[in-house]
Each structure stands twice: as structure tokens, then as C-alpha cells.
Amino acid sequence: MQRIRLRYTKRGRLRFTSHRDFQRAFERALRRAEVPMAYSAGFTPHPKVSYANAAPTGTGSEAEYLEIALTAPRDPATLRELLDASLPDGLDVIDAVEARTSGLADRLTASVWELRLDGVEPADAERAVAAFLAADAVEVQRRTKNGLRSFDARAAVAGLETVPAAGDRPADGPCAILRLVVRHVTPAVRPDDVLSGLRAVADLAPPVPAAVTRLAQGLFDEESGTVTDPLAPDREAVTAAPPKAAGPAVATAPEGAGSA
């Protein structure tokens, strides 16, 4: 069994698709692309697809990850092209690599988010960011299925700063752009929790909902404060693998298929 890890996006209007909607769209894409999927056992077999830390509905993302299991080997680059062509624009498969290591989900320990605050002056955003970072704790509340829950939104934030707005975006009014690095902790701290924290410590309240996009997710490097590419170890393992020796043609499984 071969395992392929994919990176995909949620862009534009497709950011409003739920995780269940994406699952349905992706399974249809697998059928259209005639991918030789492995299936689970039982009365209702389903494709072996493992999703990792999906972004909340309504947020865009440039860094969503999943893993699929195949019954026959396929070239990751070719598979990426076939699946990308079978998905609607906005759900784009932008990277694929054969899984040569274990623990993809364990390498998703932090995310980088961009928060676009239309109607907010950058100077006001800078003051709010400074107040948030200076606080020892920032308690926020979120309604869950078990009721209203309070937790500290500050401890999970590894980085928060204002960045210049892109020059190619129309400027119809003031706009502040925040860059947020947040660790994946329990309970999970989401971008809207940080916005609630900014409102609590500095009364920062954007007049319209923030446009939120995940730019990256992966292993958090404590020294540099950056988030690393979670697929890099698999690429390095492929590069470091010795070339296969030529030999007589025998009916054996492809060497390395499904290895971790």
C-alpha cells in the first residue's frame, strides 16, 4: 500500500465550505481521477483518507493537509495534477509527496494566520497588538456545545504583529493586516478568539467581520519562531533513499510502497 500526502487550499468563496462538504467533493474527485484507493473494511467501506487539523468553516487556507492510501503505486506529481483538475477552483491541490515518514499530524503544532481588518486604522491595530502581547493572560469566552467556556487566548500566541497591506489590493478605506502565529493547544485557540482578546484588552472592534486566511501550518521552531514545512521530512527521505538496483523482473510489490 502506498501513502500519498497532499497539501490543498480553500480560496475565495470556497472558504465557506464545511469540512464535510470538502470530504464529499474530494471523494468525487478521487473517483473522477480514477485513483486506486484503498478502502476500509466493514459493511460500509469508505476510502482511506486521513484529514489533519482542518481550518474552521469561513476561513481561507493555503495549507490544509491530508493523506490517502493507494492499492497501486502512483507518481505523486501526476496524481496531484489529476486531483487538482477534478476539484472546483478554490479547492486546489498544490503539493503531493509520497509518505516516507510517520506522524504527519504530530508535525502540525502551529499555524500562521493572516487577519484582514477592513475599517481599522493600522495605528489602532498596533496599539491593540502591543496591549495583547503585554498581558500575562487574556481571558476570552466561546460558546461550545456544552455551554459558554472561558480560557486564556494569550498563552497559545507565539507571535502577533501588524504587516503592510498588499499594494495590489484596492484601498477603499483604512485596513489593518495582522500576522498571527498560534500554537495548536487544548482547548484550541482560533483567530476569532484572538480577535476577542484584542477587543477585551484594547476595545479593538472591526466594523466588518475579519477576513481570515491560514498561510501555513507545521512544526513550530522555538528558536526562530517560524513554522516549518510538514512535508519536508518526506521529501528528504525520498532524496536520501538509495537508487533501486536493477534485477530480474519478478512479481513482487514495488519496493518502498507503503513504507514509513
DSSP 170-226: --SS-EEEEEEEEE--SSPPPHHHHHHHHHHHH----SSPPEEEEEEEE-EETTTTE
DSSP β-bridge partners for residue 152 = 139
Three cell numbers, residue 208: 466588518
Phi and psi (nearest 5°) for 84? -60, -40
Distance in angstroms (rounded) separating the CA atoms of residues 179 and 128: 13
- The answer to whether 2-104 and 108-221 have equal CATH topology is yes
The pLDDT tens digits of the residues spanning 130-153 come to 999 999 999 999 887 778 889 999
Task: Spell out, as residue ranges, where the chain has pLDDT lower than 50.
Answer: 245-260
Distance in angstroms (rounded) separating the CA atoms of residues 90 and 97: 21
At residue 196, the pLDDT reads 96
Number of H helices, E strands in the chain: 5, 12
Topology given in CATH for the domain delimited by 108-221: Alpha-Beta Plaits (3.30.70)
Q: Could you tell me the residue ranges of all domains in the chain?
A: 2-104, 108-221
At residue 165, the pLDDT reads 82
How crowded is the C-beta side of 162, counted as CA atoms within 13 Å? 19
Considering the domain 2-104 in this protein, what is its CATH number?
3.30.70.580
At residue 143, the pLDDT reads 82
pTM of the prediction? 0.87
3-state secondary structure of 27: helix
